[in-house]
C-alpha cells in the first residue's frame, strides 16, 4: 500500500473517531445506494435465491453445505440467503439492504486495515471512504448474487487485521512508531481467529485464496524481517486456499460450464487477455466512466503485433516497480503487486464462466481495487500536503463518486432495465439481447394465458427481433436458438421454429429440455411418431424428465400404443408429488381406449397415491365407479367398490349425492339391498334440494324401484 512521508499529512482529529467515521460512511453508502434498495432481482438471482429450493427448510440448509448441491460451493453465502428467506421471504429490500450494509462494513474494515499498515490516519479515512462510494463497486453491491464479494470481503479483511495483530504480538512492532493496537488476547488466539476467518472467506468466495500472499506484501510494506519462522504460520493458509481454489476451478469447468470452444485459448492469447485486463481495471478505477454490466469481449489474436502493446506496457510497469522497490520505494510496487495478485484468478489464465460474455467485469476487482485506490489516495495526499487541503480535495471527490454510484445503481432496478442499459453502452452484448428475448417471451406467455392474442403477437415479434440480433452476434449458442424458436412458435411459424430448436438440440445434445421442445413442436405439427423419438432422446439424457415422460405417455396412448405407454406413465407418477390426479387422468384415457385392465390398474394406483382428503375422495369415487360399472364383469369388484364408495361418501361429509348414489349401486351389486334402498333414498333427498341435478334425480328415481324389489322379503338392514 502506498504512503507519503508521515510529515506530509497531519492527523485528523474528528473524523478519526471510529463512531463518527462509521456513521458517516454507513450513512453516505446508504444514500449512494438508495436506488439499489428499491431494486428487484436480476440474472443469476433466480439460480441462487428466488428459484433455489434449498432455502425453504432445515433440510435445504443441510444440503447447501454438501458439495455438488449447487453449481458453486459458496455455502456461507447461500446460508445467509437461507436465514434471510426465513426472516422476510423473497422481499428483495432485505437482501439489498444486507449487501449495502456489508459493503459499508467493509469500508470501515479497509480503514482499520490501512491504519494497521501505518498509513497516516487521513489517508486511511479517505481510502475507506473512496472504497465505500466508488461506482466500480456498484455491481458487487447492487446485484444480490454478488453477496459472494461483500461477504467474503468482510471475512478477508477481518482475517488480515487479525493476522497482522498476531504478527505484531509475536514479533513486536515492525517499525518505530510503536503499537497503536494493543491487545490482551494472546498471539495464538489471534492466529486461530485469522485462520477461521480466512476459511469463512473461502466458504463465501474462493478468490480470497490470495490472502496469505497479500499478507506477505503487507508485512513487506511494514518492513518486517522475513524469515521461515515468520512465514511458517502462512503455510496452512496457502494449503487451504489452494484446495478451495482448485475445487472452484474444477466446478467452473465441469459444472458451471466454463469449457468448450469459447474458452479454448492458447497461452499467448491468455497472456494478451491478462495484460489487457491488468491495464483495464486501474483505468476504470482512476476514471470511472462508461461502466457497463457486460463490457465488449475483446477480439484476441496472437498474430496481430499491435495487441502485444499491453504486454509491453505491463512488462514496463513491472520493471519500473521492481527497480523502485529495490531502491527502497516499497509502497507503490507492493500496492501494484497486491492488485495484480488479488485480481489474478479473474484475468484469463483460469477459465471462469463470465468469460463467455466478456473478459472483464467490475465485480472481479472488488478487493483488488484497494491496491490502486491506495496509490491514488496517497498521491492526492502528497499533492495536498496536509490534512486540511486533502479534505478540500476529498469532499468534492467523494461527492462525485457518490453521485456516480447513485446513477450506476439505478441500472440494477430490474432485468429489463439492466439489459437495455447494457445494450445502450455495448450494442454487441449478445447476452443482453438474448436475455431480453427471454424476458419478452415471458410477457408473451403471460398474455397467452390471459387470452390477449394481440399482445402475444407483439411480444413474440419483439422476442424474435432480440433473438435474431443476438444470433447475429453469437451464432453457436443453444439458448438463443431456443428463444428464437419459442418466438416463432408463438407466432404460428412452427416449421421455422422447428429448425431453430433442432439446431439448439444439436449444439447441446445433453440438455433434455431441448429434445422435449423438439418433440412438442413435432406434436403440434401433427408428426407424433417423430415426436416420440424426440421424447425418447430427452429421456436418454434424463430418464426422470417429468414433462418428457408425461408427454410421451400421452402421445403413445393417442396412437393406441398402450403397452409402450406404461413405463413412461410409471416414471411420471414416480416423479410427481401430487400424482393421484395424474393417475386418474391416465386411467380415464385407458378406459376411453378400452384398455380396461390398465384403467383398473391406474384407478387403484390413484387411490394409493392420494395424499389429501380431497384427492382421496376423488380417487375413491372414480375407482369405485369403475369397479361397479366396468363393461367386463371380470373387472368388477363389488366388495371393494363398497369400501371405496363408503370412503368417498364419508370424506364428502355425507352431503354429496353423487358418492351416495354410487354407494347405493355398490351395495346393490354386493347384495346389500336394504342399504342400497336407504342410501339411494338419502341421495335422492339431497339431489332434489340442489339446482341443476335433474339428471341425477331422474337416474335415482329409475334405480330405486329395482333396489326396493330386490330388497323385498329380506330382513331389515339387508344381508
| Grid coordinates given for 26 | 454507513
Find, among 134, 116, 119, 145, the residue nearest to 50 by Cα: 145
Q: Is 44 inside a domain boundary?
A: yes
Q: What are phi and psi of 543, to 5 degrees?
A: -60, -25
**Structural domain boundaries enclosing 684:** 654-719
Considering all CA atoms of the chain, what is the largest pairwise distance in Å, rounded to the nearest integer? 121
CA-based end-to-end distance of the chain:
98
Give the number of other Cβ atoms within 10 Å of residue 671's Cβ. 14
> Which of 361, 385, 410 is at the close of a domain?
410
Query: What is the distance between the alpha carbons of residues 92 and 339, in angstroms, rounded to a whole number?
Result: 33
pLDDT exceeds 80 at position 10: no
Q: Is 641 inside a domain boundary?
A: no
Q: Is 275 inside a domain boundary?
A: yes
Query: What is the distance between the alpha carbons of residues 86 and 385, in angstroms, rounded to a whole number?
Result: 52
Q: Is 622 in contact with 589 (CB distance < 8 Å)?
A: no
Q: What is the pLDDT of residues 685-711, one digit of tens each?
A: 888 888 888 898 898 889 899 889 988
Radius of gyration of the chain from its Cα atoms, rounded to whole angstroms: 35
Q: Is 679 in contact with 713 (CB distance < 8 Å)?
A: no
Query: What is the distance between the alpha carbons of residues 617 and 623, in angstroms, rounded to a whole number?
Result: 10
- Segment 648-653 shows an average pLDDT of 90
- Segment 538-547 shows an average pLDDT of 93
Would you state the pLDDT for residue 14?
54
- Segment 310-319 shows an average pLDDT of 97
Confidence class for position 173, pLDDT limits 50, 70, 90:
low
Would you state the pLDDT for residue 193?
96
- Segment 265-282 shows an average pLDDT of 96
Distance of CA 223 to the CA centre of its chain: 44
pLDDT exceeds 50 at position 177: no
- Say which range, 165-179, 519-533, 544-558, 689-703, has the weakest mean pLDDT: 165-179
Q: What is the pLDDT of residues 101-128, one digit of tens each?
A: 999 999 999 999 999 999 999 999 999 9
Q: Is 348 inside a domain boundary?
A: yes
Query: What is the distance between the alpha carbons of residues 280 and 299, in angstroms, rounded to a whole number?
Result: 15
Total domains present in the chain: 2
Q: Would you give the DSSP letter of residue 224?
A: P
- Segment 453-476 shows an average pLDDT of 96
- Segment 17-41 shows an average pLDDT of 92
Q: Would you give the DSSP letter of residue 225?
A: P
Would you state the pLDDT for residue 319?
97
Q: Is 305 inside a domain boundary?
A: yes
> Which of 359, 379, 410 is at the close of a domain?
410
Distance of CA 492 to the CA centre of its chain: 32
pLDDT exceeds 80 at position 5: no
Query: What is the distance between the alpha carbons of residues 621 and 618, in angstroms, rounded to a whole number?
Result: 5
Confidence class for position 567, pLDDT limits 50, 70, 90:
very high
Find, among 376, 468, 434, 433, the residue nearest to 126 by Cα: 376
Contacts by 591-600 with C-beta closer than 8 Å and gap 24+? 591/626, 593/557, 593/560, 593/562, 595/562, 596/630, 596/631, 596/632, 596/635, 597/635, 598/562, 598/566, 599/626, 600/626, 600/627, 600/630, 600/635
Q: Is 273 in contact with 354 (CB distance < 8 Å)?
A: no
Q: Is 43 in contact with 435 (CB distance < 8 Å)?
A: yes
Q: What is the pLDDT of residues 209-266, one digit of tens each?
A: 999 999 999 999 999 999 999 999 999 999 999 999 998 888 887 667 777 888 889 9
Q: Is 246 inside a domain boundary?
A: yes
Q: Is 435 in contact with 421 (CB distance < 8 Å)?
A: no
Degrees, nearest 5: CA angle 459-488-479:
90
Query: What is the distance between the alpha carbons of residues 160 and 167, in angstroms, rounded to a whole number?
Result: 11
> Which of 360, 390, 410 is at the close of a domain?
410
Query: pTM of the entire structure?
Result: 0.85
- Say which range, 143-152, 255-264, 283-292, 456-465, has the weakest mean pLDDT: 255-264
Would you state the pLDDT for residue 713?
58
Q: What is the pLDDT of residues 488-536, one digit of tens each?
A: 999 999 999 999 999 999 999 999 999 999 999 999 999 999 999 999 9
Find, among 27, 77, 325, 113, the residue nearest to 207 by Cα: 77
Query: What is the distance between the alpha carbons of residues 520 and 103, in angstroms, rounded to a whole number?
Result: 47
pLDDT exceeds 80 at position 4: no
Query: What is the distance between the alpha carbons of residues 309 and 311, in angstroms, rounded to a whole number?
Result: 5
pLDDT exceeds 50 at position 308: yes
Q: Is 252 in contact with 288 (CB distance < 8 Å)?
A: no
Q: Is 165 inside a domain boundary?
A: yes
pLDDT exceeds 60 at position 356: yes
Q: Is 642 inside a domain boundary?
A: no
Query: What is the distance between the alpha carbons of residues 116 and 214, in angstroms, rounded to a whole number?
Result: 14
Amino acid at each position: 500500500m502506498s504512503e507519503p512521508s508521515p510529515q506530509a499529512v497531519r492527523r485528523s482529529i474528528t473524523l478519526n473517531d471510529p463512531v463518527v467515521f462509521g456513521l458517516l460512511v454507513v450513512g453516505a453508502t446508504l444514500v449512494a445506494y438508495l436506488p439499489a434498495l428499491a431494486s428487484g432481482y436480476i440474472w443469476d438471482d433466480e439460480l441462487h435465491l428466488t428459484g433455489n429450493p434449498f432455502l425453504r427448510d432445515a433440510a435445504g440448509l443441510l444440503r447447501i453445505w454438501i458439495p455438488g448441491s449447487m453449481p458453486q460451493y459458496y455455502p456461507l453465502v447461500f446460508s445467509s440467503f437461507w436465514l434471510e428467506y426465513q426472516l422476510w421471504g423473497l422481499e428483495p429490500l432485505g437482501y439489498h439492504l444486507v449487501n449495502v450494509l456489508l459493503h459499508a462494513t467493509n469500508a470501515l474494515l479497509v480503514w482499520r486495515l490501512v491504519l494497521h499498515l501505518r498509513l497516516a490516519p487521513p489517508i486511511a479515512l479517505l481510502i475507506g471512504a473512496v472504497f465505500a462510494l466508488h461506482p466500480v463497486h456498484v455491481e458487487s453491491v447492487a446485484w444480490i448474487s454478488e453477496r459472494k464479494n461483500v461477504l467474503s470481503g468482510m471475512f478477508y479483511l477481518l482475517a488480515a487485521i487479525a493476522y497482522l495483530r498476531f504478527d505484531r504480538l509475536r514479533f513486536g512492532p515492525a517499525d518505530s512508531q510503536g503499537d497503536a493496537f494493543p491487545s490482551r488476547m494472546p498471539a495464538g488466539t489471534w492466529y486461530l481467529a485469522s485462520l477461521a476467518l480466512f476459511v469463512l472467506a473461502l466458504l463465501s468466495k474462493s478468490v480470497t485464496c490470495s490472502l496469505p500472499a497479500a499478507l506477505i506484501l503487507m508485512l513487506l510494506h511494514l518492513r518486517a524481517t522475513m524469515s521461515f519462522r515468520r512465514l511458517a504460520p502462512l503455510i496452512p493458509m496457502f494449503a487451504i486456499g489452494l484446495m478451495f481454489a482448485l475445487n472452484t476451478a474444477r466446478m467452473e469447468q465441469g459444472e458451471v460450464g466454463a469449457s468448450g470452444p469459447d474458452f479454448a485459448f492458447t497461452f499467448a492469447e491468455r497472456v494478451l487477455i491478462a495484460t489487457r485486463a491488468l491495464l483495464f481495471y486501474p483505468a476504470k478505477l482512476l476514471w470511472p466512466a462508461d461502466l457497463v454490466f457486460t463490457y465488449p469481449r475483446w477480439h484476441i489474436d496472437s498474430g496481430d503485433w499491435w495487441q502485444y502493446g499491453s504486454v509491453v506496457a505491463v512488462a514496463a510497469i513491472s520493471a519500473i516497480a521492481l527497480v523502485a522497490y529495490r531502491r527502497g520505494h516499497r509502497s507503490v510496487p507492493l500496492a501494484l503487486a497486491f492488485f495484480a495478485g488479488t485480481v489474478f484468478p479473474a484475468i484469463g489464465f483460469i477459465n471462469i464462466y463470465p468469460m463467455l460474455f466478456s473478459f472483464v467485469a467490475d465485480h472481479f476487482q472488488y478487493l483488488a481495487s484497494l491496491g490502486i485506490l491506495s496509490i491514488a489516495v496517497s498521491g492526492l495526499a502528497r499533492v495536498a500536503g496536509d490534512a486540511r487541503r486533502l479534505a478540500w480535495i476529498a469532499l468534492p471527490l467523494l461527492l462525485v463518486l457518490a453521485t456516480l454510484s447513485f446513477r450506476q445503481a439505478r441500472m440494477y432496478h430490474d432485468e429489463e432495465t439492466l439489459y437495455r442499459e447494457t445494450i445502450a453502452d455495448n450494442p454487441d452484448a449478445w447476452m443482453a439481447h438474448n436475455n431480453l428475448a427471454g424476458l419478452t417471451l415471458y410477457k408473451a406467455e403471460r398474455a397467452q394465458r390471459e387470452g390477449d392474442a394481440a399482445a402475444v403477437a407483439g411480444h413474440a415479434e419483439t422476442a424474435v427481433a432480440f433473438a435474431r440480433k443476438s444470433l447475429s452476434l453469437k451464432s453457436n449458442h443453444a439458448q438463443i436458438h431456443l428463444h428464437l424458436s419459442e418466438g416463432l412458435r408463438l407466432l404460428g411459424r412452427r416449421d421455422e421454429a422447428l429448425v431453430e430448436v433442432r439446431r439448439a438440440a444439436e449444439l447441446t445434445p445433453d440438455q433434455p429440455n431441448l429434445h422435449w421442445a423438439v418433440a412438442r413442436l413435432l406434436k403440434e405439427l401433427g408428426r407424433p411418431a417423430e415426436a416420440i423419438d424426440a421424447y425418447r432422446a430427452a429421456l436418454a439424457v434424463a430418464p426422470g424428465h417429468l414433462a418428457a415422460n408425461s408427454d410421451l405417455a400421452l402421445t403413445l396412448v393417442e396412437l393406441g400404443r398402450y403397452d409402450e405407454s406404461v413405463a413412461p406413465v410409471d416414471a411420471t407418477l414416480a416423479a410427481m408429488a401430487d400424482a393421484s390426479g395424474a393417475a386418474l387422468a391416465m386411467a380415464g384415457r385407458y378406459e376411453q381406449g378400452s384398455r380396461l385392465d390398465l384403467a383398473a390398474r391406474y384407478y387403484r394406483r390413484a387411490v394409493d397415491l392420494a395424499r389429501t382428503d380431497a384427492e382421496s375422495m376423488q380417487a375413491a369415487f372414480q375407482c369405485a365407479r369403475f369397479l361397479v360399472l366396468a363393461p367386463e364383469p371380470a373387472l368388477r369388484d363389488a366388495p371393494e367398490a363398497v369400501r371405496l364408495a363408503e370412503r368417498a361418501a364419508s370424506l364428502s361429509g355425507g352431503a354429496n349425492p353423487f358418492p351416495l348414489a354410487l354407494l347405493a349401486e355398490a351395495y346393490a351389486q354386493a347384495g346389500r339391498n336394504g342399504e342400497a334402498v336407504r342410501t339411494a333414498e338419502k341421495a335422492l333427498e339431497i339431489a332434489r334440494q340442489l339446482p341443476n341435478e335433474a339428471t341425477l334425480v331422474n337416474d335415482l328415481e329409475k334405480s330405486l324401484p329395482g333396489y326396493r324389489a330386490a330388497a323385498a322379503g329380506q330382513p331389515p338392514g339387508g344381508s
